[in-house]
Structure 1
Amino acid sequence: MMEPSGPLPPEIYRRRRWLAIGAAIVALVLLIWIVSALRGGDDDQATDAAAVSSSLTATTSASASTPASASGSTSESGSTDDSSGSAEPSGTAEASAAAAVAAGQCPDSSLAVKVSPGKPTYPAGEEPEFGIVVTNIGNAACDRELGAGMQQVLVYTLDTQQRLWSNNDCFPNSDADVRTLEPGQQAAFTVKWSGATSAPGCTAPREPVPAGAYSVVGQLGNLRSAPEPFNLS
């Protein structure tokens, strides 16, 4: 390093030189710190922006993947009506006299109902007769109300399944008939039909049913039989 020269003592010039060097170092350090702070701020902003973008993307993806059914519940309609597997005829919803099985009685799952016409064809003027049989298909004996008020025999058109008649429409019977059915035991009943139409409560005029193909269904409470065809000639 060159020796300072001038009218002042050399140590004064040395001090001034060291001060200038120190100031330059401090200025350089400040400049580096400022640049680093600016770059760090940009990086933080970029990181925050990336985080926000990721959050928005995740939210959008979750919303898009939510099933449409989550916004509401779908309720089902138009189910079958009996445990024997036969569908309820179109356009009808037969309400039994007592839909619920009394406590302690045979459940529908342990019973089977079958109905059958007495003859495949009935000539004009002859009243059709139907047999209805209730069978305990369970593994244990049980009691069940089998009174006429709990039983229904219904006639439908064979092609359109239009309800024409029920034995309980005009002549309901509320007499009790609780029976104990052993496993495999049957209870049989017969019902006659005059051949005229009827409506629930007997509120409509009764008209003779013309010749044609029809079906009959037996019902005990909510338990329905398979339909059986027959003819009127």
Structure 2
Amino acid sequence: MLEPNGPLPPEIYWRRRALAIGGAVVVIGLVVWLVVSLAGGGSQDSESTAASASLAPSAATTYRPDASATGGSAPAGGSGGGGGGGDTASSSSATSTTATTSAAPVAPGQCADQSLAVKASPDQPSYPAGQEPAFTVVVTNIGTSACERDLGSGLQQVLVYTLEGQRLWSNVDCFPTTTPDIRTLQPGEQAPFAVKWSATTSEPGCAAPRNPVGPGGYSVVGQLGQLRSAPETFNIT
């Protein structure tokens, strides 16, 4: 069976058989390589996909910026020129203190806060040491209709601060009064009040020693209930 038979020389038949066998080997090799390549590529794609999935952030993950508070403390009040040992509350603390002493709610039927304006001014820009600074507080009806409001001294405050915002004095610290003073104010009508300051410190309740203040710049603020005026400055020389 293996010996070639035919009219041609035997070596020709052997050569043809060798070529056929070689071609078959090449084809089988190509098929094997193709199968291996396809199988390997699919595995690599799967591994790559798995790796990508492991690196991708989860859709359920939430990224938030730093939410830590960075609020600063209120500035400490300065001396403004003297008067050590007095009230050391800052302006924000002073506002809270005055709110507890005079920021009473408006009685029903009286002038609403938005229909009034309060202004406190020093009677002169500068006072020599030893003279009591005098202030004028003016309450004005800025509404369009007449209304009543209790302007009693227990509801009015005049406060003195250093220029750095340190509360030094209030007229109701040592002399709180609750006597009502109901006034009817026409539109545009003003109600002035005069107040003097002994140029000494005070605290709510008048429990702390009252120390004289020294030369320097100060500011005065008027308050009626929850209404506060803009500060106005003056000097003690």
TM-score category of the 2 structures, normalised to the smaller one: 0.5 to 0.7
Q: 2:39 is matched with which residue?
A: none
Contact 1:150/1:220 (CA < 8 Å) preserved in 2?
yes
**2:126 matches 1:124:** no
1:59-94: per-residue Cα shift (whole Å, max 9, x none)?
77xx77x9999xxxxxxxx9xxxxxxxxx9344222
- C-alpha spacing 1:224/1:98, structure 2 compared with 1 (3 Å): closer
Q: 1:191 is matched with which residue?
A: 195
Equivalent of 1:150, from 128, 151, 155?
A: 155
1:93-121: per-residue Cα shift (whole Å, max 9, x none)?
22243521111111111100011000000
SS of 1:109's equivalent in the other structure is helix
Q: 2:102 is matched with which residue?
A: 97
The separation in 2 between residues aligned to 1:164 and 1:125, in whole angstroms, is 17
Q: 2:179 is matched with which residue?
A: 175
**2:185 matches 1:219:** no
Offset of 1:124 from its aligned partner? 1.0
Contact 1:90/1:162 (CA < 8 Å) preserved in 2?
no
The separation in 2 between residues aligned to 1:99 and 1:185, in whole angstroms, is 23
Offset of 1:141 from its aligned partner? 0.9
The separation in 1 between residues aligned to 2:124 and 2:66, in whole angstroms, is 54
Larger fraction in helix: 1
Contact 1:147/1:178 (CA < 8 Å) preserved in 2?
yes
The separation in 2 between residues aligned to 1:68 and 1:102, in whole angstroms, is 46
Contact 2:159/2:170 (CA < 8 Å) preserved in 1?
yes
Contact 1:91/1:162 (CA < 8 Å) preserved in 2?
no
**2:139 matches 1:134:** yes
After superposition, the CA RMSD in angstroms is 3.0
Percent of aligned positions with the same letter in both sequences?
Answer: 63
Q: 1:9 is matched with which residue?
A: none
- C-alpha spacing 1:68/1:107, structure 2 compared with 1 (3 Å): farther
Stretches of structure 1 lacking an aligned partner (at least 5 in a row): 1-56, 70-77, 79-87
Q: 1:115 is matched with which residue?
A: 120
- C-alpha spacing 1:214/1:68, structure 2 compared with 1 (3 Å): closer
1:1-150 equivalences under 5 Å are 89-92=91-94, 93=96, 94-95=98-99, 96-150=101-155
**2:168 matches 1:164:** yes
- C-alpha spacing 1:68/1:213, structure 2 compared with 1 (3 Å): closer
Contact 2:102/2:157 (CA < 8 Å) preserved in 1?
no
SS of 2:114's equivalent in the other structure is helix
Offset of 1:216 from its aligned partner? 0.2
1:201-216 equivalences under 5 Å are 201-216=205-220
Q: 1:46 is matched with which residue?
A: none
Q: 2:18 is matched with which residue?
A: none
SS of 2:102's equivalent in the other structure is coil
Offset of 1:174 from its aligned partner? 1.1
The separation in 1 between residues aligned to 2:142 and 2:154, in whole angstroms, is 22
